[in-house]
Structure 1
């Protein structure tokens, strides 16, 4: 077994020495833009996850550094995300009080477990495994998660102090029960922030619109205490770098968290690789999926010990990195360093942000999460995949979120197996020959369908045009041998024409194949 070289152990050594003063300066400015975008998002996502606001900043520092240095994408930037935050909240809130030290410890422990799962997938070179979570599942889950998050933030927008609910339906019912208790000052401040943020995003989309909207609303609340003095503010914290967080070793708790860790780990990988692939297609970069999976796992393993909860690829920050002209992953490294400076010196400013304004910014993020164009395209291209997306979305609204991911994956696999169980078959008659051209694999799911088609033919000679058959398993081999013997008993024959060598080899492996009347033609 070859020994790993230093570029395998430290992949950043392959690109870091090639940086110039100009490229480093460019990446530093791109990183500053990404940090400005990350500040309000990270704080908002931490609140969604039921964590104190500083943990959103922590998750945008160490995990981002590790993922950028050990990953393979030039433009992928990780950090806390809305979808993962809501899954973490749904998974851990039944086990501890959100915001408590026990809750924080469990979130970080789940992050560590998910990181180990991701890293093992990368080490075993199972990067392609994330392809089993189809794009339609991600679309449906994101749409459902956006609704869940939005409903969960409406009490904050309305100035209501309601306990968080595990499902969208329960959140909606709780809002209806307290419909007459809205705080008008909170509502006015929240809607104003929502309107200003939406207007800025429409008119100047490249600006840090969320940060500007939050700053304006905080200024208004500070200047008009008679109107907004009673409105709740985001909890303040002591400015410091991410602290070391020792994780407990509790086997029972590890086993309870493991299913959620696998679900959220897969979700993070699918999100990250989808973003990385879409950007690499535009930048003409060749990605190493297994290296990216290992980097994601390593970032969450290390991040869990440094107060960074589970991170994944960020659509907005990665897109900004690409559009702003980042020259290397160094832009993500600079982004993490800028966030670290803010966590150290700018923490006191967070205490001035009104909770309704933060809720409004989260609602804007939720709207941006929904891929309207992708949903419309999915409806036009594939109704089956659109059904998978819809089922995943409904499951997200009705079930626990990690269960919804599994439900979406199962629905996607069902439609895939249904489609592959009926391979493309063209049939025609040529004299005394019945000819079938089979396009697709002959495996256990498709062998019965093909057997029924063969048994419906009446020609003296049955020919299968097999040049498009790429794979055949034991069930397919046994079925073809069985049909060859059946036709021979009727005074007819079965022939495979232009079969691929690997298919012929599999057919000849079956016991008794030498005596089987199955014919081959070139």
Structure 2
């Protein structure tokens, strides 16, 4: 009963660990997180095509629900760059960005994404994230970074670019509109950007993005006083109140339009959240429950859609800062949201003096930080297949619909996984009679050239046998039987975790073929759960119980009696003890 209650209300598990020491640490980490997310929330909402306050609303609601119902102690959820740009790309095809219709569709998209995530959690699909290569996320975020930077060029140059233009058309418009270039807007953006970089470099614990925005705003305020004539657009005043109630559009037409796009956002959000929580957990030695994380992310988006919040997920930056700031429990995420509410109520009117071009400078820095250069270099250096996935996902993000780029990347990573598992390693083994230690264990002949029995081939299959790999395994058996004229094949099965029905049928067929040639398939070292499943499926009965062995010595002794003694008498290998007798 207690375990059931904790699975429904996971926060009960960490509530009992709270004390004065953890509360103090969580308050400090929470305040740090609130200061960090203030400029990020405004920037991310701008990327998503929403009014700036919606990014702050998301940073107030989403982390509280995700902290209560997730599994990570340090994950901070809220608005993220990748999801923001997918939101903009998805909804801007249907309605005008920033309009009431745009906001309504964003809330509906958030609700649908949350429903998908919650359903995945209940269905215990958490392990599916393991099959999505991290390279997909690196390629997607790198492409998204270029798109984000491109979208801000109109704000920092003053060149008019029609809304809804594709990546290539934006650059064409920039080239054609160079005569309208405003150098002062670029200067404000660069001052904002470089001041944020310098403060991060020399004062790493300072709220560098917030400081950069302040310095950029001060420069924009004083430029006209020095006689500089420029048209500086301002963000405008953010309403100084807490997230208002909202209602997604549940009409059939809207849901049918957004259902497929919501799936892409749900998938991206889950991959982000679980990847980040696991990365932080490796430092904190915490075990993450992906299914519970799915539930937490789903509930945060469902709940948030009724409180003026758009789709959120885990933030690597804020989660890392939360851990480094000494957070002990998920209470730090709740404190961060509460502190942000207080800060917004106090300083919201000051955003009326924030230049859009300064915001553009901050967003350029955010976009730059999205590009994981270290991992990209490593991928290109060590893996051709992962490099192909990275390039494909990156280019698809730039030139195709963003949700399709996500699907394509995930599909490629699954294809890569299947390709790897469909060709398991099948080394040939033999016995080293010259072993100084006196043991007679099987040795891979690729590591040491050893004599082999001309009638019995010993192989080891290092991966599970299923519909994807059985063709490769069958070819190996046929090559031994037809090419080397060896019809007794012993399979060392210690590396096999399961055999599916297709694998069973094929192995039975190969065994019967070898049996007609006075040979057969033999298995040694099968794991108990695998053997039990094979027995229930009547595989053991069809092969023959006498062809399954617990130890290698018994297997060799039994199979030796079935070999052709005439060949044995003329054999020079004599690798088995039985050969000498």
Structure 2 length as normaliser, TM-score?
0.85
Q: Does 1:110 find its partner at 2:109?
A: yes
Distance 2:533 2:342 in 1: 62
Distance 2:476 2:11 in 1: 56
- State the Cα distance separating 1:246 from its structure 2 match: 1.5
Contact 2:487 2:517 survives alignment (8 Å): no
Distance 1:348 1:244 in 2: 21
Are residues 329 and 397 of structure 1, via their aligned partners in 2, closer, same or farther at CA, if it must alter by over 3 Å? Answer: same
- Report the count of equivalent residues: 521
Q: Does 1:521 find its partner at 2:549?
A: yes
- State the Cα distance separating 1:192 from its structure 2 match: 2.0
Aligned to 2:500: 473
Q: Does 1:12 find its partner at 2:11?
A: yes
Distance 1:36 1:512 in 2: 63
Aligned to 1:340: 341
Distance 1:258 1:241 in 2: 29
* Bigger RCO (CA 8 Å, 6+ sep): 1
1:318-344: CA deviations, max 9, x gaps? 111111111221211111112112332
Are residues 219 and 460 of structure 1, via their aligned partners in 2, closer, same or farther at CA, if it must alter by over 3 Å? Answer: closer
Aligned to 2:276: 275
Distance 1:484 1:186 in 2: 76
Contact 2:107 2:249 survives alignment (8 Å): no
Aligned to 2:253: 252
Aligned to 2:438: none
Aligned to 1:435: 458
SS in 2 for 1:449: helix
Contact 2:161 2:170 survives alignment (8 Å): no
- State the Cα distance separating 1:499 from its structure 2 match: 2.8
Distance 1:185 1:512 in 2: 77
Contact 2:38 2:340 survives alignment (8 Å): yes
Distance 1:439 1:30 in 2: 46
Contact 1:166 1:400 survives alignment (8 Å): no
Q: Which moved more, 1:509-518 or 1:494-503?
A: 509-518
Structure 1 length as normaliser, TM-score?
0.95
Distance 2:333 2:537 in 1: 55
- State the Cα distance separating 1:273 from its structure 2 match: 1.2
Distance 2:74 2:235 in 1: 32
Contact 1:484 1:517 survives alignment (8 Å): no
Distance 2:17 2:409 in 1: 43
Aligned to 1:449: 472
Q: Does 1:200 find its partner at 2:218?
A: no
Distance 2:181 2:386 in 1: 41
- State the Cα distance separating 1:508 from its structure 2 match: 4.9
Contact 2:107 2:247 survives alignment (8 Å): no
SS in 2 for 1:62: helix
Unaligned segments of structure 1, at least 5 residues: none
Q: Which moved more, 1:176-185 or 1:209-218?
A: 176-185
SS in 2 for 1:224: helix
- State the Cα distance separating 1:23 from its structure 2 match: 3.0
Q: Does 1:54 find its partner at 2:77?
A: no
Are residues 97 and 437 of structure 1, via their aligned partners in 2, closer, same or farther at CA, if it must alter by over 3 Å? Answer: same
- State the Cα distance separating 1:520 from its structure 2 match: 2.5
SS in 2 for 1:464: strand
Contact 1:193 1:360 survives alignment (8 Å): yes
Contact 2:504 2:539 survives alignment (8 Å): no
Contact 2:63 2:300 survives alignment (8 Å): yes
- State the Cα distance separating 1:436 from its structure 2 match: 1.6
- State the Cα distance separating 1:502 from its structure 2 match: 4.1
Q: Does 1:141 find its partner at 2:140?
A: yes
SS in 2 for 1:424: coil
Q: Which moved more, 1:463-472 or 1:418-427?
A: 463-472
Are residues 292 and 507 of structure 1, via their aligned partners in 2, closer, same or farther at CA, if it must alter by over 3 Å? Answer: closer
- State the Cα distance separating 1:452 from its structure 2 match: 0.9
SS in 2 for 1:414: helix
Contact 2:140 2:394 survives alignment (8 Å): yes
Distance 2:229 2:30 in 1: 35
Distance 1:260 1:193 in 2: 34
1:259-408 equivalent positions in 2, closer than 5 A: 259-408=260-409
Distance 1:515 1:335 in 2: 63
Are residues 14 and 419 of structure 1, via their aligned partners in 2, closer, same or farther at CA, if it must alter by over 3 Å? Answer: closer
Q: Which moved more, 1:144-153 or 1:387-396?
A: 387-396
Q: Which moved more, 1:301-310 or 1:455-464?
A: 455-464
